[in-house]
């Protein structure tokens, strides 16, 4: 389109960071930076694990595109620092970011609001993991409560796996989530816009080899299929989009997010798994894929997100 977006001021693309997802964040950030530069934005890479955040103020940055993933990126910490600096940023504010990063808190709110999410137990020992398995049944998912990208994730099929599953998850987080496994279609749906009027984008159905949508298959292989249109039965996509919009709203999200959902094969009931408030923007990522299906290019998506930057106190124009 060739339009110049220099009116957006000097922009920092926050990427890298100190989380377990640093590698993916650098991939996301590089893509965003290239896209913004192609649209005439005065954009610059900024890695908060290598530089103090107050350099943003000192160097006159007008706004930030957060392309950080995981802890210290989408958990409210960077958002809080940017609030103190008075620099508008993409995505959700401090509270919604912190809650959404914590899968247990997220599920508590969704359950309270009457939104469907798989049964779960929070555990802090291998013994509690065994007890959760006895209660929830097989298969059971064991994962850190505050990590993303399937890091520390195990699908437990027998009690004999509980010790190792807990040990793996607890390497990443003292808070471990045991969750009932829902067998069926795995889908994801991005949401963009202000909290009061969000727009749900086309649903993507994920078909991974042997149903194993792990870290490697998410980012580094081409064997996973992403179907958009999702090819769901009549009415299901709209029901999922409505569910995801509500999930976004009750957590107080804004800007953008992506919710992951499992559809029970027997009942066709959709169950919310989690919501990502700083989704991936790599070549394998799902928000750009969904946006493309809605007729929005990667570059235009990046500009649209940048234009939505705000702080908790005010919305920038």
Which residue has tokens 């009457």? 114
**Which of 19, 100, 170, 276 is the catalytic position?**
276
Distance of CA 177 to the CA centre of its chain: 17
Distance CA(149)–CA(215), nearest Å, equals 6
Record the tokens describing residue 221, joined without a space.
Answer: 């292989």
**Which of 71, 258, 285, 299 is the catalytic position?**
258
Distance CA(30)–CA(140), nearest Å, equals 36
**Which of 89, 166, 219, 248 is the catalytic position?**
219
**Residue 50's CB: how many other CB atoms inside 10 A?**
9
212 is catalytic: no
**Which of 16, 19, 21, 213 is the catalytic position?**
21
Q: Do 8 and 306 form a contact (C-beta atoms < 8 A)?
A: yes
Beta-bridge mates of residue 59? none
**Which of 260, 271, 285, 290 is the catalytic position?**
260
258 is catalytic: yes
276 is catalytic: yes
Question: What H or E segment, with its residue span, contains residue 292?
Answer: helix 286-293
274 is catalytic: yes
CA torsion, ordered 311, 45, 284, 305, to nearest 10 deg: 30
248 is catalytic: no
**Which of 25, 28, 149, 170 is the catalytic position?**
149
- Output the CA–CA distances (angstroms, integers) from residue 140 to 57, 126, 144, 145, 239, in the order listed: 46, 14, 13, 14, 26
Tell me 13's DSSP state.
E
149 is catalytic: yes
> Annotated active-site positions, please?
21, 149, 219, 258, 260, 274, 276, 280
């Amino acid at each position: 389109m060739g339009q110049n977006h220099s009116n957006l001021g000097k922009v920092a693309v926050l990427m890298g960071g100190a989380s377990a997802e640093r590698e993916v964040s650098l991939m996301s950030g590089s893509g965003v930076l290239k896209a913004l530069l192609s649209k005439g934005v005065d954009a610059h890479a900024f890695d908060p694990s290598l530089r103090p955040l107050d350099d943003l103020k000192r160097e006159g940055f007008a706004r930030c595109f957060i392309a950080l993933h995981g802890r210290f990126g989408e958990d409210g910490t960077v958002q809080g620092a940017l609030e103190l600096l008075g620099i508008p940023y993409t995505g959700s504010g401090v509270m919604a970011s912190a809650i959404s990063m914590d899968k247990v808190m997220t599920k508590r709110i969704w359950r309270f609001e009457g939104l469907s999410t798989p049964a779960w137990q929070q555990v802090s020992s291998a013994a509690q993991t065994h007890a959760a398995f006895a209660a929830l049944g097989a298969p059971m998912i064991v994962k850190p409560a505050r990590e993303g990208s399937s890091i520390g994730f195990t699908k437990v099929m027998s009690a004999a796996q509980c010790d190792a599953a807990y040990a793996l998850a607890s390497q990443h987080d003292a808070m471990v989530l045991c969750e009932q496994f829902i067998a069926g279609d795995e889908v994801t749906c991005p949401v963009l816009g202000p909290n009061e009027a969000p727009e749900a984008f086309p649903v993507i159905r994920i078909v991974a080899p042997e149903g194993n949508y792990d870290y490697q298959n998410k980012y580094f292989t081409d064997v996973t299929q992403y179907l958009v249109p999702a090819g769901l039965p009549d009415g299901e996509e709209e029901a999922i989009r409505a569910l995801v919009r509500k999930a976004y709203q009750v957590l107080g999200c804004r800007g953008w997010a992506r919710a992951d959902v499992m559809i029970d094969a027997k009942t066709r009931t959709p169950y919310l798994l989690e919501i990502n408030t700083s989704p991936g923007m790599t070549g394998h990522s799902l928000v750009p894929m969904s946006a493309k299906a809605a007729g929005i290019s990667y570059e235009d998506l990046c500009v649209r997100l940048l234009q939505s930057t705000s702080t908790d106190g005010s919305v920038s124009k």
